[in-house]
Structure 1
Amino acid sequence: MLQNNPELKSKIDQLWNKFWSGGISNPLTAIEQITYLLFMKRLDELDQKRQADAEWTGEKYTSKFEGAWIPPEERNWPEAEQRPIDKRTLRWSEFKRMQAEEMLQHVQGRVFPFLKDLNGAESNFTHHMKNAVFIIPKPALLVEAVKTIDEIFEVMEKDSRENGQAFQDIQGDVYEMLLAEIATAGKNGQFRTPRHIIKLMAELVQPQLGHKIVDPACGTGGFLLGAYQYIVTQLAIKADTKNLAPDEDGFVRTSVAAALTEKAQTILQESLYGYDIDATMVRLGLMNLMMHGIDEPHIDYHDTLSKSYNEEAEYDVVLANPPFTGSIDKGDINENLQLSTTKTELLFVENIYRLLKKGGTACVIVPQGVLFGSGKAFRDLRQTLVERCDLKAVITMPSGVFRPYAGVSTAILLFTKVWGPQDKIAKPATEHVWFYEMTADGYSLDDKRSKRENFGDLQDIVVQYRARSPATDTDRTAKYFMVPRAEIASDTSNYDLSLSRYKQDVFEEVQYDKPGVILDRLIQAEVGDLDEAELVKVQDGIVRELLELKGMVG
């Protein structure tokens, strides 16, 4: 995690301070402008890398910076009046050498318009970038920002070489630090799920090449990247790629390029879908995925709880940490959602169930209140999870997992859709639910979130989940155990899914000394080693009262 690289954290802080002192103090605005610059830098580096790879392998690759570019507003002009721009001048490595005034004019007037037009007029990226603006106002700020971002990339590359962490994961850490500023500013719900939790959830779901995957509240696309990287790693393992070692969280992950054929890349491009209600987050998510080699991400602006969103039974996998924003306007809720509530934490889970194809699996983070809330909507949702889905696992997490953004206690729900909303249930889908009490995630649970020497419970969760069995996971005093559906569905349970309802506490018998022995110890602490005769002579009030008490208890 970023917090464990003080040099990188220091550079990010410097970048924030430069934007703040340069007149851009709104955290979300600053993040968007910083992301544009990060994207320009990463686009140049990825393009150069792909050119070098193509020369090495003999494959054909056309650089994004090859040839001439005509700004969109000039394309309908007479040819003689058009002013084609050499695309090479739009590279980060070219314009960073310009003088301050020239650089600002060049980036504002040429590089940023080229960026917005990158995938052509019909692309999703161009559509969402249409209203994007480059608002860095001062030449000095741009020069300093470009210099600091170059330094950040140097630290990221050094960290990748020395610690074996994938470059895109370090880049994710940079986003985590940037997004922390949104949380600090109170931007509701916009914070990044810790990367190691995303890896854990992908490991539990095990998405495969060809699965259609969605995050209905995707933010910057962290879960989509987590699924992408899991699939790429599995392809690399099948291709017998060497030197695949566990990362700092104990998960095996490899680079985007490894073992990806052109066919696999095409399938993956059509596999990942994300939606968000914040236009800025949509742009950040698009650029984030594009920086990881996904050229045409399917991330779009949509309120997936609203009447305008009608997808159902579309996806094989849902990975999500939807925002817990309280309530929404009842008039805006999609009529297909049957829960009688305006609470988003309940509506999102119901919607995720509806988005799944039959046989599709979801892994979603919810506040723990969803597990035991007493209202009718809470109970109805849990009944749906238990009877219409195969509820495979409930993993409770300690409240510190989302610090420093939030201290709410959360849980991971893992379920597979068996019966649709309109199906008559022939048999309840769940037979047993596996519970696990995560007490540590490999990081300190305070605001610093410092890395610990071990992986916490992460790897144990994966191992024990895959080996789970109703015959063996019966010890209700352990960290993990299985509970039969009949017990969960009983009248007294009310479909309660809180771990504490089923876990049995262990009470150890403690042997205490007799009262007389304890009193002797207290007296000795007051006066030291005196015999009985000397004790009688002591007139101290505390000692006298202790002696009287000893005489009473014997």
Structure 2
Amino acid sequence: MNLLALQAKIKSASDKMRADDNTKNALRYLEQLTWLLFLKVFDAVEETHEMVAEIDGTTYHPLLPKQYRWATWARSSLTGDALIDFVSGDLLPHLREMSGSPRAERIAAIFTEIRTVMKSGYSLKEVIAIVDSIDFHALENHHAMSVIYESLLAQTSDAGWSGEFYTPRPVVESMVRIANPELGERVYDPCCGSAGFLVGSAQHIEGSLKTTEQREQFNHSTFYGQEAGDIAALVGTMNLVLHGVEDPQIVRRNTLEQDARNFSPSEQFNVIMTNPPFGGTENPQVQQNFPSKSAATELLFLQHCMARLADGGRTAIVLPDGVLYRTETSFSTVRRRLINEFNVTAIVRLPTGVFPTAADTRTNLIFFGKGGRTETIRYYQVPPPPKKRSYSKTNPLTQSVLEGAERWIIDGVPDTYSWEVDYDTIVASGFDLDIPWPLAGSVTDGSNADERLEDVRGRMATLLDLAQSLVDANASLADYPLLPTVTLDAWIEESGARAGSATPDRLVGVSNDGGLAPFKGAPAKDQSRYRRLEVGDFVYNPMRVNVGSIALCRREEETGWVSPDYMLFRLKPGAPFDNEYLLTFLKSERGRAEIDRESRGAVRRRLYLDGAKNISVPVPGDPETWSALIASFQAVKRHLRDLPAAAYGALASFESAAFGERTDA
């Protein structure tokens, strides 16, 4: 049976169910078709076991009693009301009550909520005959059924159901190749839906199977999933069975109802791949299961994956842009944990339209492992289709578009759309991971105007979101309490060792906006009094600190030697605030007023270190929420700084395209 013939059979069955009074709704007939297909597939697997046992001279005991085997009831003379009575009153109740083994209990869990049965027993008999005519022993049909089933899922848009679990095949395959699951590893999807990631992993691993023991491991202890939806759990289980995994470990469960703070090593997995639902909200009771409470389902699923990842394991997850930059305390805290406690290796930035059910949502593929903190992240910007703003159902993403990302992440082979960001840069940005493609504004010919315009659109959308976060924060300042002030005298100490006989090798200056950069002026003849700037040091120009000329050295490449006229200090251990909080305060209006009050001099006022020690600083009442707020300030400033160059570059590219040589008639 070829693909077209099989497709015709599925369409014929669907048409008959659409005409039935009880299965007109797409979800209803999809449920009916799914459980019929599952029982037919399951019976084919049981037949295979029986044939192998007979050849081996052993005995195999089928899981289902003979009267409930597909070959018995589906091929019997039952029809009309008698068939409906058997299915509704005997078969389905038995399946729901199965027990005695993990396989039996999994089937019972799958069928717990299955209720859809066609109203007409005669039409049901016709559909059963169509399903029975499909030969599941033929290997080519396994792949064909997967293609047909995924096309059915993609077309089912009722209540957004398909959007909860349908991920385009090129995205799945690319994520599987990058994550590279291997036999002996436990592969898990916490919201597996139709099990696309697990099926992709099975196809990736199956070629390495050599022995019966390896096949047993592949069948019973490699693929794990959880899924809240009853139909989706059935679809996922059947999809894996169709792809040769006889006993997939899929559990019907609301993943977010599990306590993410108490998973033991035995409950963790080596490889996690998932596309969690995002844009939804969870109730406060469910939020109590997570270290950082949030109503956003995408952030809760990310924390779940972090909690269930085994040491040395790796995760590949689809997440919307907001997770990278949103500044609410929960988002900021989770990003800090992700960067400091896990190794984020890559972020693939996707254009809009890749996921048809969320066409306007900007998404990312994020890859991270457990074992050491993040050092360097490989970013990749997937371009939109030529001369288009985004992908769509009629112009979908293809596998070839993701090949550049795979070469960059797996083999370290860069191209125009790849770049790297190191840990210190991420820290300096307040753990904002929404880092745009740096070349977006650098090319002014018309060849990539669409990419650059889309980049600007995305940057502006991010700025609007960040601005709304600030509006919300400003409306609820009680969430950012301040305790009584303390003077800096007890919490800072002078730093900056003199050069003495050493020769300063890199001179550093401080700009009025608080940036550190190589000093461009001529050095003094006597450099022995120059002072060493190290990571964690504050440095300021005593005559211009009141207008913002104060900086924090955050990264090794910013270290060097500064003029002996500059003041250097650092926070002592145990200070009631961190470096970022203190810097933000000193550059604020209230901080500048404190600086003016402690500055000395009749003509040119200066802030000496003794004066700096007298500055009064309010103590943050909740350091975690204040860190998130300060991160939002930093994110807004960075995006505002980067936007003009990108916008002007995009306009120049568009002008070049508009006035370039072209034929429109």
TM-score (norm 1): 0.68
Deviation at 1:434, TM superposition (A): 0.6
Deviation at 1:504, TM superposition (A): 4.6
1:232 is matched by which residue type in structure 2?
E
Deviation at 1:37, TM superposition (A): 1.1
Contact 1:191 1:405 in 2 (8 A): no
- CA separation in 2, counterparts of 1:132 and 1:54? 32
Among 263, 266, 282, the residue aligned to 1:311:
263
- 1:21-32 to structure 2, matched below 5 A, reads 21-23=19-21, 24-32=23-31
More displaced 10-residue stretch of structure 1: 478-487 or 296-305:
296-305
Deviation at 1:392, TM superposition (A): 0.5
- CA separation in 2, counterparts of 1:65 and 1:303? 27
The corresponding residue for 1:436 is 380
Q: Structure 1 residues 209, 404: CA separation in 2 closer, same or farther (over 3 Å shift)?
A: same
Q: Structure 1 residues 150, 221: CA separation in 2 closer, same or farther (over 3 Å shift)?
A: same
Please state if 1:464 is matched with 2:429: no
- 1:255-404 to structure 2, matched below 5 A, reads 259=210, 261-266=212-217, 268-306=219-257, 310-311=262-263, 313=265, 314-335=268-289, 337-403=290-356
Contact 2:281 2:297 in 1 (8 A): yes
Deviation at 1:9, TM superposition (A): 5.5
Contact 2:153 2:162 in 1 (8 A): no
The corresponding residue for 1:241 is none
The corresponding residue for 2:433 is 497
The corresponding residue for 2:191 is 217
Among 438, 458, 480, the residue aligned to 2:418:
480
- CA separation in 2, counterparts of 1:98 and 1:8? 25
- CA separation in 1, counterparts of 2:172 and 2:58? 35
- 1:186-205 to structure 2, matched below 5 A, reads 186-187=160-161, 189-205=163-179
The structure with more radius of gyration: 2
- 1:69-218 to structure 2, matched below 5 A, reads 69=66, 85=67, 89-90=71-72, 92=74, 94-95=75-76, 104=84, 107-108=87-88, 112=92, 120=100, 123-128=104-109, 129-133=111-115, 135-149=117-131, 153=134, 167-187=141-161, 189-218=163-192
- 1:243-254 to structure 2, matched below 5 A, reads none
Contact 2:241 2:247 in 1 (8 A): yes
Among 361, 364, 368, the residue aligned to 1:415:
368
Please state if 1:445 is matched with 2:399: no
1:496 is matched by which residue type in structure 2?
D
Deviation at 1:204, TM superposition (A): 0.7
1:210 is matched by which residue type in structure 2?
G
- CA separation in 2, counterparts of 1:39 and 1:298? 15
Contact 2:186 2:271 in 1 (8 A): yes
More displaced 10-residue stretch of structure 1: 347-356 or 398-407:
398-407
Deviation at 1:283, TM superposition (A): 3.4
1:400 is matched by which residue type in structure 2?
G
1:219-268 per-residue CA deviation (whole Å, 9 max, x = no partner) reads 23222222222221233xxxxxxxxxxxxxxxxxxxxxxx4523442355
Deviation at 1:308, TM superposition (A): 5.2
Deviation at 1:402, TM superposition (A): 1.7
Contact 2:287 2:293 in 1 (8 A): no
Deviation at 1:102, TM superposition (A): 5.9
* % identical equivalent positions: 25
Q: Structure 1 residues 283, 391: CA separation in 2 closer, same or farther (over 3 Å shift)?
A: same
Secondary structure, in 3 states, of the residue corresponding to 1:411? Answer: strand
1:308-334 per-residue CA deviation (whole Å, 9 max, x = no partner) reads 564255121111111114221122224
Deviation at 1:36, TM superposition (A): 1.3
1:406-425 per-residue CA deviation (whole Å, 9 max, x = no partner) reads 44221100000225xxxxxx
- CA separation in 1, counterparts of 2:366 and 2:397? 25
The corresponding residue for 1:425 is none
Secondary structure, in 3 states, of the residue corresponding to 1:234? Answer: coil
Deviation at 1:395, TM superposition (A): 0.7
Q: Structure 1 residues 265, 178: CA separation in 2 closer, same or farther (over 3 Å shift)?
A: same
- CA separation in 2, counterparts of 1:88 and 1:414? 43
1:377 is matched by which residue type in structure 2?
S
**Ranges in structure 2 where 5+ consecutive residues have no aligned partner:** 447-651, 653-665
- CA separation in 2, counterparts of 1:89 and 1:6? 26
What do you get for the CA RMSD once the two structures are aligned?
Answer: 3.7
**Ranges in structure 1 where 5+ consecutive residues have no aligned partner:** 70-84, 162-166, 236-258, 420-428, 513-554
Contact 2:354 2:397 in 1 (8 A): no
Deviation at 1:184, TM superposition (A): 3.5
Deviation at 1:12, TM superposition (A): 4.1
1:255-291 per-residue CA deviation (whole Å, 9 max, x = no partner) reads xxxx452344235512322112223333333343344
Q: Structure 1 residues 172, 87: CA separation in 2 closer, same or farther (over 3 Å shift)?
A: closer
Secondary structure, in 3 states, of the residue corresponding to 2:421? Answer: strand
1:104-141 per-residue CA deviation (whole Å, 9 max, x = no partner) reads 55555665566557775663324313453452221232
The corresponding residue for 1:232 is 206
1:327 is matched by which residue type in structure 2?
T
The corresponding residue for 1:20 is 18
1:272 is matched by which residue type in structure 2?
F
Q: Structure 1 residues 109, 121: CA separation in 2 closer, same or farther (over 3 Å shift)?
A: farther
Secondary structure, in 3 states, of the residue corresponding to 2:291? Answer: coil
Contact 1:214 1:272 in 2 (8 A): yes
Contact 2:165 2:275 in 1 (8 A): no
Contact 2:163 2:357 in 1 (8 A): no
Q: Structure 1 residues 139, 216: CA separation in 2 closer, same or farther (over 3 Å shift)?
A: same
Contact 1:120 1:126 in 2 (8 A): no
Q: Structure 1 residues 26, 149: CA separation in 2 closer, same or farther (over 3 Å shift)?
A: same
- CA separation in 2, counterparts of 1:500 and 1:11? 48
Q: Structure 1 residues 438, 406: CA separation in 2 closer, same or farther (over 3 Å shift)?
A: same
1:505-547 per-residue CA deviation (whole Å, 9 max, x = no partner) reads 332368x9xxxxxxxxxxxxxxxxxxxxxxxxxxxxxxxxxxx
Contact 1:232 1:260 in 2 (8 A): no
1:127 is matched by which residue type in structure 2?
A
- CA separation in 2, counterparts of 1:308 and 1:432? 31
- CA separation in 2, counterparts of 1:170 and 1:325? 33
Q: Structure 1 residues 52, 306: CA separation in 2 closer, same or farther (over 3 Å shift)?
A: closer
* Number of residue pairs matched by the alignment: 437
1:396 is matched by which residue type in structure 2?
R
1:472-522 per-residue CA deviation (whole Å, 9 max, x = no partner) reads 74x7xx1112222222221xx232323416445332368x9xxxxxxxxxx
1:188-244 per-residue CA deviation (whole Å, 9 max, x = no partner) reads 843321233222111111112221222111123222222222221233xxxxxxxxx
